[in-house]
Amino acid sequence: MGDSKKFVPKQAEQPQQKKLSYEELTQVANELHQQTQMYAQRMQQMQNQMQELARGERIQVLGFAFKVLEHSDKFHEAFVNQMIELVQEALQPVETKPEPAAEPAKQE
């Protein structure tokens, strides 16, 4: 057991990174900006789809609530009361936050 050679891995040769010119940096920035806009639009589309699905689900739940109320004699009173509250909440007008008034421009 004379030769105890250690295995030393060769360091990966890293290629020299080329510095980008101003024009190349501008091009990369524009491409990234376009990608960001594309992703933002896609995210907005997906949020709209989720809201539409949620609306459909709420309508379906309300339909079931009205059926429970139609046949309230077949359900426990506490459950019927929950359905009444659910329907009442759904029929309340949506409160909108008033937009803050624009501050008048300062006159000099």
Where along the chain do its domains lie?
22-91
The span from the CA of 94 to the CA of 58, in Å, is: 14
User: Could you tell me if 83 and 65 are in contact, meaning their C-beta atoms sit under 8 angstroms apart?
Assistant: yes
pTM of the full structure: 0.50
Residue 22 — very low, low, confident or very high, per pLDDT cuts 50/70/90? very high
pLDDT in tens, 57-73: 999 999 999 999 999 99
Tell me how long the chain is.
108
